[in-house]
Amino acid sequence: DVKVTQSSRYLVKRTGEKVFLECVQDMDHENMFWYRQDPGLGLRLIYFSYDVKMKEKGDIPEGYSVSREKKERFSLILESASTNQTSMYLCASSLSGTARVTGELFFGEGSRLTVL
């Protein structure tokens, strides 16, 4: 089974702190994604990566950056956390070229971040 593991289920940080959210997948997938999920807004794409060291902005990249140094790991970075970044963050992965047809993204369980 494909497994996408997010390092922290729950985090509490203070405004201005630097925050790292880590995601690891074990199925050699080329594509990796970071979404945030908010009530009434659904899922919104922050960044995605289709290869090591490659990254593309999603719909809401402001205030975030990402790092993909190894194929299996995709990190989301909040350089200076703010209260409006309190949210559930979901990591996902997929095989290259197939998601357009199969649509199968494999999701982690999510990281709930609270910024005080």
Which chain residues interact with other proteins by CB under 8 A?
4, 31, 33, 35, 40-45, 48, 50, 56, 58, 90, 92, 94, 96-105, 107-110
Nearer to other proteins by Cβ, of 84 and 101: the residue is: 101
Minimum CB separation from other proteins for residue 106, in Å?
Answer: 8
- State the residue for tokens 């729950």: 10
Bridge pairing between strands 111-115 and 10-13 = parallel
H helices of 1-116, in order, are: 99-102
H helices of 15-91, in order, are: none
Nearer to other proteins by Cβ, of 79 and 109: the residue is: 109
